[in-house]
Chain A
Amino acid sequence: MAMEPLNRSEFLKLMALGGAGLAILGGPERALAALARADDDLDRAALDGDVAAAHAAAGTILAVARGTSAGTNTKKAIAAIGGMRKFVSSGDVVVIKPNIGHARAPKYAVDTNPSVVGTLVALARQAGAAKVVVMDNPVGSDPANCYGASGIADAVKSAGGSMHVMGSGGYKKYAIPGHLLDTHPLYAAIVNADVLINVPVAKQHGSTGLTLAGKNLMGCTSDRQRMHTLGLSQSIAEINAKLRPELTVIDATRILVRNGPSGGSLDDVKVKDTVIACKDWVAADTYATRLFGKKPGAIPYIKAAANMKLGTMDLSSLTIRVV
């Protein structure tokens, strides 16, 4: 009989069942109950924060979750920075912005991992969000195709969120902080959201070196051309200054190290099994550059954002929790 590889929780359940059969003394109910409790605990912590987060000193926590399940990593990372309820309140309209730039299957590490996105949708719903809407402005194909091929549409729908296609009528010009853009069109539904969660996939990129959280919000504008011609790095920093995401979760489950951002070859993909979460996206991007063996200073848009005081590149000034 062919067997599917087990993920960790399935493996634990199987071990627990086997153990329960042997541990007649303890009784199977207790073994199963303990297992269920572990799952419950993680779910609860992902909403309300884990114990360490509750006792952490004042200041920003940057969580780095490692493990073979992208969904569990996401829960652990959110738990470690204080839980989803810290960011999402009852009745909020939540917009989640993954990177769904191209029509590629998850294994190519071109679009954000669907389990990471789906888990965030579920957590936001459980935290009481009135509506969780997921959207991107794909560049390599049309949205319906990218949403489907990336697996994100299915993950979002089964988690209780909805996919939204960003029509060209939905953009509005906004005043942008900083000296370069002055005004720039952004997608109104994203600007007006109560909570914006930025969920990029970490990958190599020709113009900015890497594309991480800051670059991912370029998907909120209809005029990329102007950003390129005026100066990309400063433009990226400035639209981030306007959009100010409440939470940033970087998916580094699989990362694309060459031929980014469109990818297409598994030879260019590295498995990192990592999810990073932080409310400070500059810090999150700074940390993520390490996965590629680069210095954050080598990514000009991160430097520009730090100069605008949108966050810190000094990782020693925050609490880093590896969970």
Chain B
Amino acid sequence: MSDETQLDEPRQVDAALPDGGAPAARRREAGGGARREAGGWKAARWVRRAIQIAFLVFFVYLLFAALQRRAAFPLADVFFRFDPLAAFSTMLAARQWIAHLGLAVVTVVSALVLGRVWCGWVCPLGTLLGWFRFRVARRLTPRVPPRLRGVKYVLLGVIAVMAALGSMTLLILDPIALLTRTATTSLIPGFDYVVGAVEAAFVYWGPTSGAVTWIEDHFRGTVLPVYQPHYAQGVAIFLVFLAVVLLNVFAEQFWCRYLCPLGALLGLVAKVQVLRPLVGDGCNGCNGCVRACRVGAIEPAAARAGADAGGRGEAAAARARVVTSECTMCLDCLVVCPEREAMSFGPALKPGPWAEYDPGRRQFLAAAAIGVGTVALLGTSVARAIKSPGLIRPPGAQDEGAFLSRCLRCSECMKVCPTSGLQPSLGQAGLEALWTPVLASRLGYCDYSCTACGHVCPSGAIPKLGLEDKRTRVLGVAVIDRNRCLPWASNTPCIVCQEMCPISDKAIVLSGRHLITRPDGTQDYLARPNVVPARCIGCGICEYKCPLEGTSAIVVLPSNPSLAVGGAPDGSAYPEG
């Protein structure tokens, strides 16, 4: 079997090739006696594919392993711990060394030695995007201006400038955060819903009901949630992800080539990468590597021959060139190169070539302007002046400024929250805090026996708390709406909020001395619930369980110290009757 028959279909190239019409003929010509042994590189490619799949499987495993687990899962945030973009910006914004994120140094060192090996071998988003390839891209890619590659550097610059000014807003573009958030708020809930629907379709049919029972017995409560989770903005977050996938229509790995700020950071480091694919004197200018490169990181030979106008396109001058900052180290070029002497993999101490789209003064100025402007606009939002009633942060994260400068927008906490009460914010804290976690008690409460969010938070924005400590952290305070509460508004007996309150000296007490007259004339004493603000920690289980339809008659509001000290009644004001 010849090498050619095993090649992937030719890939799209940034610029149109002069010999684009007859690549197959060229390659055949190049074969024969001088054919090099690509076997070793082919094996390396299989290893790379296996490792990519292993990391993706591991990522998905972590999503499910952390889900609904009470015990902190020590690996849950491991991808973020190796993510230098997350580490760099949060340490810059928080003005603090965060030891937990120190592993990111490993990734930076890997980029110094092997370039963007993270992108091509590890990143689960990169692996996924590699699987979405569109035929039409072959036609469209040459029309995408190479200068678009500069966008990712501008994004990186904006993130850095904003972080320096204390804002982490654009971390929503971190690739690991993007994928985790999408999985948490849309892919996994969607998966759960489909499983439930399929089960419902088959459970009452004899031959399949056993299988459904087996699945329920083995996976419900561990892999599958007990209740269907619902997430605010799940659709919007999914559409962002879908857009990233569909951009592949224009070019393979579009996100990785043009947009990814983490890729940009690693790309800058990779300018000096030590071990890299090298094009030697043997290059015959066939541009097979250019076609094979999934990220278009190789500049074609002919284009360079034109640039070196002095010669007549001789082989030495007309060889292809690898731009290290774009290369994701997939090694496909080494597999396809037909010449024995042409391509090798080895050390090079000279910095990689500087391409026309690489960042310069203009990009830096643009980034600075955009970064400062964005911070200025976000900082003057109304949300900074008035605390929204929906702004309930996870336990221990009540210092809003400190929280926002540390939160990676990664949604690990939402993923692990057993009640799905932690939701991606939209307006609660302004656009500045987009997709940071807020506790939406009507959707899920803060479980009194759970400390999971603090234990999976990679940056410590939500502190790691012991259970007894966490139980004393005040998230907000419950307030009863007596115009809607059943026993207050309609004399209907109900004490669900009091029943559910997990505090051992209940923060909701019943006053039982209300004499009421029923429509039939009979009289009775009715118990009515009252909040004791000094005891309430704002866990929200009362709001979640209130049996009214729609809005609860008891809601958790951001805690207001005056409620606790301003002469509000303590429990003794309500003797149980």
Binding site for B on A (CB under 8 A): 102-103, 139-145, 148-149, 162, 164-170, 205-207, 224-226, 228-229, 232, 259-265, 268
Question: Residue B317 at the A interface, CB < 8 A?
Answer: no
| Whole-angstrom distance between the Cβ of A292 and the nearest chain B Cβ | 14
- Measured between beta carbons, the chain B residues less than 8 angstroms from A260 are 499
Pick from B226, B228, B486, B505: contact of A165, CB below 8 A. Answer: B226
| Whole-angstrom distance between the Cβ of A131 and the nearest chain B Cβ | 11
| A229-B547 contact in complex given A142-B447, A167-B226, A169-B200, C-beta closer than 8 Å | yes
Asked if A149 and B449 make an inter-chain contact with CB atoms under 8 angstroms apart, the answer reads yes
Beyond A141-B448, A170-B216, A205-B499, 14 additional contacts (C-beta under 8 Å) are A140-B448, A140-B449, A141-B449, A145-B70, A167-B196, A169-B216, A207-B494, A207-B496, A224-B547, A228-B496, A229-B486, A232-B493, A262-B502, A262-B504
| A262-B501 contact in complex given A169-B196, A170-B216, C-beta closer than 8 Å | yes
- Measured between beta carbons, the chain B residues less than 8 angstroms from A169 are 196, 199-200, 203, 216
Kindly list the 3 A-B residue pairs having the minimum CB-CB distance in the complex, ordered from nearest. A264-B504, A165-B221, A265-B504
Pick from B217, B449, B493, B499: contact of A103, CB below 8 A. Answer: B449
- Measured between beta carbons, the chain B residues less than 8 angstroms from A165 are 216, 220-221, 226
A303–B196 CA distance with the chains assembled, in angstroms: 39
Number of A-B contacts (CB under 8 A): 103
Pick from A225, A264, A265: contact of B547, CB below 8 A. Answer: A225
Asked if A139 and B500 make an inter-chain contact with CB atoms under 8 angstroms apart, the answer reads yes
Q: Which B residues between 497 and 511 are near A, CB-CB below 8 angstroms?
A: 498-506, 510
Asked if A259 and B499 make an inter-chain contact with CB atoms under 8 angstroms apart, the answer reads no
A206–B545 CA distance with the chains assembled, in angstroms: 15
Q: Which B residues between 469 and 514 are near A, CB-CB below 8 angstroms?
A: 486, 492-496, 498-506, 510
Asked if A206 and B495 make an inter-chain contact with CB atoms under 8 angstroms apart, the answer reads yes
Question: Residue B343 at the A interface, CB < 8 A?
Answer: no
- Measured between beta carbons, the chain B residues less than 8 angstroms from A148 are 70
Q: How large is the interface on B (under 10, 10 to 19, 20 to 34, 35 or more residues)?
A: 35 or more
- Measured between beta carbons, the chain A residues less than 8 angstroms from B502 are 102, 140, 262, 264
- Measured between beta carbons, the chain B residues less than 8 angstroms from A261 are 499
- Measured between beta carbons, the chain B residues less than 8 angstroms from A141 are 418, 447-450
Asked if A259 and B505 make an inter-chain contact with CB atoms under 8 angstroms apart, the answer reads yes
Question: Residue B419 at the A interface, CB < 8 A?
Answer: yes
A164–B218 CA distance with the chains assembled, in angstroms: 9
A17–B38 CA distance with the chains assembled, in angstroms: 80
- Measured between beta carbons, the chain B residues less than 8 angstroms from A264 are 502-504
- Measured between beta carbons, the chain B residues less than 8 angstroms from A167 are 196, 216, 220-221, 224, 226
Pick from B226, B419, B447, B449: contact of A143, CB below 8 A. Answer: B226
Asked if A145 and B498 make an inter-chain contact with CB atoms under 8 angstroms apart, the answer reads no
Question: Residue B134 at the A interface, CB < 8 A?
Answer: no
- Measured between beta carbons, the chain A residues less than 8 angstroms from B418 are 141-142, 145
Between A102, A168, A228, A263, the greatest number of chain B beta carbons within 10 A of the residue's beta carbon is seen for A228
Pick from A140, A142, A164, A228: contact of B68, CB below 8 A. Answer: A142
| A168-B227 contact in complex given A141-B418, A229-B547, A263-B504, C-beta closer than 8 Å | yes
Closest to A108 in B: B504
Asked if A145 and B200 make an inter-chain contact with CB atoms under 8 angstroms apart, the answer reads no
Could you jot down 5 A-B contacts, CB within 8 Å?
A167-B220, A228-B547, A229-B486, A259-B505, A261-B499
A142–B203 CA distance with the chains assembled, in angstroms: 24
Asked if A262 and B196 make an inter-chain contact with CB atoms under 8 angstroms apart, the answer reads no
| Whole-angstrom distance between the Cβ of B204 and the nearest chain A Cβ | 9
| Whole-angstrom distance between the Cβ of B145 and the nearest chain A Cβ | 51
Asked if B527 and A206 make an inter-chain contact with CB atoms under 8 angstroms apart, the answer reads yes
Q: Which B residues between 58 and 79 are near A, CB-CB below 8 angstroms?
A: 68, 70
| A144-B504 contact in complex given A169-B196, A206-B498, A229-B486, C-beta closer than 8 Å | no
| A164-B217 contact in complex given A206-B499, A206-B527, A262-B501, C-beta closer than 8 Å | yes
| A262-B199 contact in complex given A144-B222, A170-B216, C-beta closer than 8 Å | no
Question: Residue B438 at the A interface, CB < 8 A?
Answer: no
| Whole-angstrom distance between the Cβ of B188 and the nearest chain A Cβ | 16
- Measured between beta carbons, the chain B residues less than 8 angstroms from A145 are 70, 418, 447, 449-450
Asked if B450 and A168 make an inter-chain contact with CB atoms under 8 angstroms apart, the answer reads no
Question: Residue B541 at the A interface, CB < 8 A?
Answer: yes
A138–B54 CA distance with the chains assembled, in angstroms: 37
| Whole-angstrom distance between the Cβ of A237 and the nearest chain B Cβ | 15
A148–B69 CA distance with the chains assembled, in angstroms: 12
- Measured between beta carbons, the chain A residues less than 8 angstroms from B504 are 259, 262-265, 268
| Whole-angstrom distance between the Cβ of B383 and the nearest chain A Cβ | 32
Closest to A300 in B: B493
- Measured between beta carbons, the chain A residues less than 8 angstroms from B495 are 206-207
Asked if B545 and A139 make an inter-chain contact with CB atoms under 8 angstroms apart, the answer reads yes
| Whole-angstrom distance between the Cβ of A135 and the nearest chain B Cβ | 10
- Measured between beta carbons, the chain B residues less than 8 angstroms from A263 are 504
Q: Which B residues between 419 and 440 are near A, CB-CB below 8 angstroms?
A: 419
Closest to B498 in A: A206
A265–B503 CA distance with the chains assembled, in angstroms: 9
A229–B330 CA distance with the chains assembled, in angstroms: 62
A224–B548 CA distance with the chains assembled, in angstroms: 11
- Measured between beta carbons, the chain A residues less than 8 angstroms from B499 are 205-207, 260-262
- Measured between beta carbons, the chain A residues less than 8 angstroms from B510 are 206
A139–B447 CA distance with the chains assembled, in angstroms: 10
| Whole-angstrom distance between the Cβ of B126 and the nearest chain A Cβ | 34
- Measured between beta carbons, the chain B residues less than 8 angstroms from A262 are 499-502, 504
A140–B499 CA distance with the chains assembled, in angstroms: 10
A268–B547 CA distance with the chains assembled, in angstroms: 27
Q: Which B residues between 217 and 241 are near A, CB-CB below 8 angstroms?
A: 217, 220-222, 224, 226-228
Closest to A265 in B: B504
- Measured between beta carbons, the chain B residues less than 8 angstroms from A207 are 493-496, 499
Closest to B447 in A: A141
- Measured between beta carbons, the chain A residues less than 8 angstroms from B545 are 139
A103–B541 CA distance with the chains assembled, in angstroms: 14
A167–B199 CA distance with the chains assembled, in angstroms: 11
Between A103, A167, A226, the greatest number of chain B beta carbons within 10 A of the residue's beta carbon is seen for A167
A260–B545 CA distance with the chains assembled, in angstroms: 16
A140–B504 CA distance with the chains assembled, in angstroms: 13
Closest to A133 in B: B217
- Measured between beta carbons, the chain B residues less than 8 angstroms from A228 are 486, 494, 496, 547
- Measured between beta carbons, the chain A residues less than 8 angstroms from B496 are 207, 228
Interface string of B502-537 (1 = CB under 8 A from A): 111110001000000000000000010000000000
- Measured between beta carbons, the chain A residues less than 8 angstroms from B196 are 167-169
A225–B442 CA distance with the chains assembled, in angstroms: 14
Closest to A138 in B: B226
Asked if A144 and B68 make an inter-chain contact with CB atoms under 8 angstroms apart, the answer reads yes
- Measured between beta carbons, the chain A residues less than 8 angstroms from B498 are 206
- Measured between beta carbons, the chain B residues less than 8 angstroms from A144 are 68, 70, 221-222
| Whole-angstrom distance between the Cβ of A207 and the nearest chain B Cβ | 4
